Amino acid sequence: MSTQPRTCQLVRPEGSYVGKQAFTYFAGVSAENTGAQAICMHLLTIPPGGRAKAHLHEAHESVIYVLSGQAGMWWGDELEEHMEC
């Protein structure tokens, strides 16, 4: 059991930056702003037909939370798994 005190963090998507995938990201939950150790979740808009290049998240899991439209994700050692949402 952790001896660290529990805390609650408020994150507002006020700042933005252009990431490695050339999308504009708005601040979300990350190690940099909350001290999170296994989650990184930012808000971004992917335009119709837009796609990210294959990449690896080594220190955290991958999540897609779709607010509108649809999205697909490929994963696995050879990107053999696919899901549309």
Q: Does pLDDT of 81 surpass 90?
A: yes
Region 51-67: what's the mean pLDDT? 84
Domain boundaries, the chain: 16-47+58-84
Q: Does pLDDT of 13 surpass 80?
A: no
Burial label, 39 (beta-carbon count in 10 A; 0-12, 13-18, 19+) = middle
What pLDDT shows up at residue 1?
59
The rounded mean pLDDT for the chain is 85
Q: Does pLDDT of 42 surpass 90?
A: no
Q: Does pLDDT of 64 surpass 90?
A: no
Distance set, CA 7 to CA 28, 41, 52 (Å)? 17, 18, 34
CA 67, CA 49: separation in Å to the nearest integer?
16
Region 65-85: what's the mean pLDDT? 91
What pLDDT shows up at residue 2?
64
Q: Does pLDDT of 83 surpass 90?
A: yes
